[in-house]
Amino acid sequence: MDTDIQSILAKMTIEEKAALCIGASEWSTTPVERLGVPEMIVADGPHGIRRVPDVHSMAHDSLPATCFPTASCSASTWDVELMGQLGAALAEEAIALHVDVVLGPGVNMKRSPLCGRNFEYFSEDPYLAGELAVSYITGVQAKGVGTSLKHFAANNQEFQRFSISSEMDKRTLREIYLPAFEKAVKEAQPWMVMCSYNKLGGVYASEHYPLLTRILKEEWGFEGLVVSDWGAVRDRVPTLRAGLDWEMPGPQDRRVQVVAESVRSGKLAESTLDDAVRRILRVVSKAQETPKGAACDMDAHHRLAHKIAAEGMVLLKNAALPLQGGRGEQAPLLPLKGQRRIAVIGRSAQVPYFQGGGSSHVNPARLDVPFQELQSRAGDAELTYAEGYPADDSFRQDLIDTAVGLARSADVALLFIALPAHKESEGYDRTDLDLTAQQVALIEAVAKAQPKTAVVLNNGAPVAMSAWIDAVPAVLEGWMMGQAGGGALADILFGRANPCGKLAETFPRKLSDTPAYLNWPGGAGKVRYGEGLFIGYRYYDAKELPVLFPFGHGLSYTSFAYTNPQVSARTFRDVDGLTVTLDVTNTGQMAGKEIIQVYVHDCVSGLVRPEKELKGFAKVALQPGETKSVAIKLDFRAFAYYHPEYEQWITEDGDFDILIASSAADIRHTLTVTLQSTLTLPCLLDRDSTLREWLADPRGKDAFGPFYAQVEEQGRKMFGGGEGDKDRLGVDFMDMLGDMPLVSVLMWQKIALPMHPEDLVSTLLDQVHDLAD
Question: Would you name the residues annotated as active-site residues?
Answer: 229
Report the alpha-carbon distance of residue 642 to residue 655 in Å, rounded.
18
Instruction: Identify whether the C-beta of residue 72 lies closer than 8 Å to the C-beta of residue 460.
Output: yes
Amino acid identity, residue 476?
L
Assign 658 to helix, strand or coil: strand
Report the alpha-carbon distance of residue 352 to residue 369 in Å, rounded.
6
Q: How many residues does this entry show for the chain?
A: 773
What does the DSSP assignment read for 102-116? EE--B------TT-T
Report the alpha-carbon distance of residue 207 to residue 232 in Å, rounded.
10
Instruction: Identify whether the C-beta of residue 488 lies closer than 8 Å to the C-beta of residue 78.
Output: no
| Among the listed residues 130, 120, 119, 131, the one whose alpha carbon sits nearest the alpha carbon of residue 176 | 130
Instruction: Identify whether the C-beta of residue 320 lies closer than 8 Å to the C-beta of residue 329.
Output: yes
Q: Which helix (H) or strand (E) holds 315?
A: strand 314-318
Q: Would you give the DSSP letter of residue 46?
A: S
- In this structure, the strands spanning 329-332 and 571-573 are unpaired
Return the sign of the alpha-carbon dihedral for residues 728, 734, 737, 739. negative
| Among the listed residues 27, 104, 109, 101, the one whose alpha carbon sits nearest the alpha carbon of residue 70 | 104
Contacts of 726 (CB under 8 A, 6+ apart): 732, 733
Alpha carbon distance, N-terminus to C-terminus of the chain: 44
- Give the distance between the most distant pair of CA atoms in the chain: 98
Instruction: Identify whether the C-beta of residue 442 lies closer than 8 Å to the C-beta of residue 375.
Output: no
Contacts of 708 (CB under 8 A, 6+ apart): 695
Centre a 10 Å sphere on the Cβ of residue 733 and count the other Cβ atoms it contains.
19
| Among the listed residues 199, 154, 151, the one whose alpha carbon sits nearest the alpha carbon of residue 174 | 154
Report the alpha-carbon distance of residue 35 to residue 32 in Å, rounded.
6
Instruction: Identify whether the C-beta of residue 533 lies closer than 8 Å to the C-beta of residue 604.
Output: no
| Among the listed residues 559, 587, 642, 585, the one whose alpha carbon sits nearest the alpha carbon of residue 215 | 642
Q: Would you give the DSSP letter of residue 517?
A: G
Strand order in the sheet with 578-586: 560-567, 578-586, 627-634
604 CB burial (10 A radius; 0-12, 13-18, 19+):
exposed
